[in-house]
Every structure is written in C-alpha cells, then in structure tokens.
A and B are shown apart, each in its own frame.
Chain A
Amino acid sequence: MTPTVSPLSSGSTDPVIDLRSAAFGYAERTIITDIDLTVHPGEVVAVLGPNGSGKSTLVKGLVGLAQHTAGEVRLFGEPLDHVHDRWRLGYVPQRHTLATSLRSTVGEVVGVGRVAHTPWWAPWRAGSAENRQLIAQSLSLVGLGDQQRTDVTTLSGGQQRRVLIARALAAQPEAILMDEPTAGVDRANQQVLGEVLTRLAAAGRTMVIVTHELEAIRPAVTRAVAIDSGRIIYDGPPDAIDTSISGHVHHHHDDDDDTAGVGAPTLTAPHPMPPVERPHA
C-alpha cells in the first residue's frame, strides 16, 4: 500500500476537540477561561481575536505548550492528559523564520514531522521509502514539491510558512491547529496560503486556524469563533461575524501572543500591508 498524507483516522466520530468550561494559562496566571468549544471532524474553524485575546494560548494549551488549568478538555474523545499519540493533533506554530544556526534543506525540516513516527531504536527508518514519499507528498500539497533540496533560509517568508504546514502534514495528524499562519507575510503570499488552506479544506482536513485576518482564509473556513478578553463572544458562520461582533472589540496592549503588540485593532479589517512582526528570539 502506498503511504499517503491523508490523516491516519481512527474512523471514530468523536469530536476532535471538546472543551467544557476549559481554562488555559501558565503557572502565574490563567489567560483564557470558561471556554466551551466542540470541533467535529471535517470542520475548518477560524478562531479570531485581537492580540492578547488569549486565542494563541488556547492553541498552545491544546498542543501541550500551555497548562490546562480548569474545566474539561477532550481530544478525540479522550481526556487531554490521556492522549498518548500527541502527533494526532498537528501543530503549525506562529513562527516567522525557519532559520537556525545550521544548514537545513526544506526536506529535512519537513522530515521533522516524521520523527514521532520513527522509533528511536530504528533511526534508519527515518530515510525509509514511506517517509520519503510522505515528505514529498506534504511538500506537493503546499505547492513546494520542487523545493525539497533547497536551503530553507533562502526561501521567502511566505514559502517558509508553507514549509511549516507541510511539516505538520507529514505527521499525518487527524486535525491541525495553526497559529497565525498568514501573519507577517505580504498580500500575494497571504493569498497563496489561503489557497493552500482551501485546498486542504476541500480534501476534508479538520483544521483550527487562529488568526486576526479572516479575509485571506475565508474561502477555507466553515465556521468562525471570536475570542475577546479570554472568552468566546461569537460562534457561527464566518459570513455573519462582521455585523455580529463589531461592537465588542476592544484594543489590547498587554498581549500573550508573543507579538509586538501591533496587531489589528479590529478583527476583520485587514492591513493593506500586514506588519512584519518581531521574530521569535
């Protein structure tokens, strides 16, 4: 059987994500509280909110980078701390560069997605035909099929975002969480990213996409959730969101999203040219 990057689905109809009065945060403080959210297989949910609204903490909590401090959290029908195969929930972190201090090819970075599937005692399997095929497929899905041997640092910012999505795909997750996949790239690249996400959505991918720019990804999205001040203020079809929440949005200056606090003051007004945000240290 030829391997495929389509998700390794267990075939269950349990909700992918099921939150009841859930709260997430860090040791010192809770950032986001009392969240009720259920995501079913096949849904593409945009989670919207200004910087500091806690939407990034929600994603980090679900992938195990922030603490689950209260309420009930279930992934694939299991309580969060009982989920052993963490790769089932894919993750595209908010990162503005792939550069490290060492040379890496695009294929090597995407190969990181296969590491959780490769037992430590069998390192030769990292280069197996199956893994090579999955890496190539993931790159074709994001339109970078011919860039596998390219040095990642020579790619543009928009191409690097697509590499991060390919890395998540290579792990064969059942659902993917993305943290600001279009922030800090120019218009043309945002459009391509939006088309890539639409393509994944059309293939039946379950995705939760945190963003403060709905426009670029609107065609991919089946449902929008707006978060402000750590709470959900809207949950419904993406097209009704503009009128429904326009009165609720505040400006935030303390942010937990690791951005420079230059985010959109309103949820839906896109920047003519989005600000290039401070790269992670």
Chain B
Amino acid sequence: MPEFLAFDFMRASLLAALLVGTAAPMVGIHIVQRQMSLIGDGLGHVALAGVGIGVVTGNEPVFTALIVTVIAAVAIELIRSVGRTSGDLALAVMFYGGIALGVVLLSKAPAGTPANTSSYLFGAINTVTNTDLATFTVLAVIVVATTTLLRSRLYAIAQDEDFARSAGLPVVFVNILLSVLTAVTVVVSMRVVGLLLISALMILPNATGQTLGRSFRSSLWLAVGIGIVCSTGGVIASYYADTPSGGSIVLVLIAVFAVAQLGAWLVRVVRGRHQSSLATHPHVHWEDCGHEAVAHGDHVDYVHDGQRHAAHGDHWDEHGPDAEKHASKAPVRK
C-alpha cells in the first residue's frame, strides 16, 4: 500500500478528488457546448458570499453556500433567457458583489472558527471533514445521475435550441437545471480546488477531450477519465510536494492538455496533407447523380471522367483502385 493511503485525511482527500473529478467534467461539457465556460467562475464568486453567511451565522458553510449558489444559478439562467444586454451588467454585479460580500463577512468570522478566506478561494482539501465528505458524495451522485439522465436533452438543446423547441423539449427548464447542477458542482468542488479554480476543473478536461475525441460521446468519456486521473493525481502530487491541492490539480490538468495538444500537432505533421485532393470539383456526387458508384472499403467511390472520386470532408479526393494507403493517411475519412 502506498504510504499516503495510510492517512485518514489522504483517503478522504482522494475520495473527494474522485467525486469532483467525475462530476465537474460531466457538467462542464454542456457548459462548454453553450459557450458559457466562465459561468462556473461566476458562481464560484457568489459561493463565497454563501460561505461567509454560514460562518457568521454559525451554520454549516457548505449548506449556506449551496443555497446561495443555487439561487444565483436560477437567476443567471432567467437573466440569460430574457437576453437583454443589461443582463451582462446584472451578472457582473452579482459575481463581484458575491465575492466582496464573502470577503467582508469572513473577516468578521468569530474567533476560533477554522475558516480562512484563502482556504475557500484556493482549496484546502485536508480540511474536509467526514460530514463534508458525506454531503459531497450525495451531491456528486445527484450531479452525475442527473447529467446522465438528461444528457441527450442537454446536448439537443445546445446543438439547436430552435429545433429542440419545435420538437417540444422543455428548453427553459433543462437550461435552468443545468445552471443549478453547475452551482452544486461548484459547492462540491469548493474544498478540493477552491472557488477561484473551479472553472478549470469543469473546462480543462473537456478541452483535452476535444483534442483527442472523435465524437461528442468519446470526448466526454475522455474528459471524465482525465478529470479523475488529474484530480487524484494532483492530490497525490500535493502530498509529496507539500503544495496546495487546488493549484496542483489545475497544473496537472494544464500539463495533460499541453501534452495532448502537442501529440495532436505531431500526428498532423507526421501524416501530412494528402496529395490526392482535387482542387476544383463543381459537381456533387451522390446516389442519384448518374455516375457509377463503386464500393471501396468503408466508403463509396464515384467513377467520373475515368477517375474515381470519393467525398472527403468538404472536398473530393481522387482514389486509385489501391487507395488503402491513402485511406490510412486521411484521418477524417470514415
């Protein structure tokens, strides 16, 4: 057994990291798809006000943060659905007001409370209590279950909101639910990565997943895998290096993202651009276009002026009868 597992606080930390590493990318992919990457950051600001209220009133900060953040999440989605330009300002007031209120309230914390501002802003995983851990587990399970159940609806609405409406999907309700799930994820992640770094855990695994994946589905599962590996890996690294957990996790996420980008770039360079694409091809081949269609491996070639043409992305390639070589060189070919 590795040395770090001998400590209770490390086992608790790793469980918390596992929960957060799973839930954050699952919510994050839908936020990224809506191009609202920084919403988690804003809700993180608001959560600090909730923490402050809890500390000053002597309530459990996790619960007060949850209530305040969920209310803010619903408000954000309502402001966004109205779509006024003044909505932007309203959000700014909410976010900066939240963090300012949090800082002021925490400075008035009664003596003897362990809370200090920076442990909430940057994460202090070794302050996670067993009560916290039980709460986080329940919340993370709710987040994972809800995003799993609603994934196809969340995807459909972000893909084309008009089409989703026309098919009768409850667009406003699902969007509010996503906002609330984001709020819950922020609170669950608060102790692990800290309120200022939460967005990173929702966004960065998905950025890497997008680099490596070939579909929405595969990039999501890659992102969840990366989220779990990096958050637990970051916690272990922070144990040996004696560094804060939140910053360590985010640095590991960035390192993995950089490696994935470099790898993808190298693959592109090595494969190179294929030579067989046709510069101009005004005709569009399809089943009924009149040209003879020939099955060729996993696709169809059309016999056109003595050449064989195959669709490749938005252009046409010339395929010889022995085009296996080309097929393996063209990464987009299906």
Quick check: A150 and B334 within 8 Å, CB to CB? Answer: yes
Quick check: B156 and A112 within 8 Å, CB to CB? Answer: yes
Quick check: A115 and B152 within 8 Å, CB to CB? Answer: yes
B114 to chain A, nearest CB (A): 41
CB-CB under 8 A from B314, the residues of chain A are: 154-156, 159
Contact of A103 among B214, B283, B289, B298 (CB under 8 A): B214
Q: At the interface with chain B, which of A30-38, A93-101, A259-267?
A: A93-101
Quick check: A116 and B159 within 8 Å, CB to CB? Answer: no
Question: Bound state CA distance, A155 and B315, in angstroms?
Answer: 8
A136 to chain B, nearest CB (A): 13
Interface residues of A in 58-104 (CB under 8 A from B): 63-65, 84-87, 89, 91, 93, 95, 100-104
Contact pattern, B 25-52, Cβ under 8 Å of A = 1, otherwise 0: 0000100110100000000000000000
Quick check: A93 and B284 within 8 Å, CB to CB? Answer: no
CB-CB under 8 A from B168, the residues of chain A are: 64, 84-87, 116
CB-CB under 8 A from A255, the residues of chain B are: none
Sorting the interface of chain A by its residue count into under 10, 10 to 19, 20 to 34 or 35 or more gives: 35 or more
CB-CB under 8 A from B33, the residues of chain A are: 100-102
Q: Is A108 at the interface (CB under 8 A from chain B)?
A: yes
Q: Is B332 at the interface (CB under 8 A from chain A)?
A: yes
A220 to chain B, nearest CB (A): 13
Quick check: A93 and B214 within 8 Å, CB to CB? Answer: no
Quick check: A155 and B155 within 8 Å, CB to CB? Answer: no
Q: Is A16 at the interface (CB under 8 A from chain B)?
A: no
B244 to chain A, nearest CB (A): 31
How many B residues, CB 8 Å from partner? 47
Q: At the interface with chain B, which of A47-55, A118-126, A207-215, A234-242?
A: A118-126
Quick check: B158 and A100 within 8 Å, CB to CB? Answer: yes
Q: Is B254 at the interface (CB under 8 A from chain A)?
A: no
Question: Bound state CA distance, A126 and B149, in angstroms?
Answer: 11
Interface residues of A in 168-185 (CB under 8 A from B): 171
Q: At the interface with chain B, which of A6-14, A187-195, A224-232, A245-253?
A: A187-195
What are 24 A-B pairs at a CB distance below 8 A? A86-B167, A91-B166, A93-B160, A95-B160, A102-B210, A103-B210, A105-B216, A112-B156, A116-B167, A116-B168, A116-B169, A118-B152, A120-B149, A123-B148, A123-B150, A126-B152, A146-B311, A150-B313, A151-B214, A151-B215, A155-B313, A155-B314, A188-B284, A189-B284
A sample of 9 more A-B contacts (CB under 8 A), given A95-B160, A112-B164, A171-B167, is: A64-B166, A100-B159, A105-B214, A108-B155, A112-B152, A112-B159, A149-B215, A149-B334, A154-B313
Which residues of B are in contact with A by a Cβ distance under 8 Å? 29, 32-33, 35, 148-153, 155-156, 158-160, 162-169, 206, 210, 213-217, 219, 282-284, 286-289, 298-300, 311, 313-315, 332, 334
Which residues of A are in contact with B by a Cβ distance under 8 Å? 63-65, 84-87, 89, 91, 93, 95, 100-105, 107-109, 111-113, 115-116, 118, 120-121, 123, 126, 143, 146-151, 154-156, 158-159, 167, 171, 186-189, 191-192, 195, 199
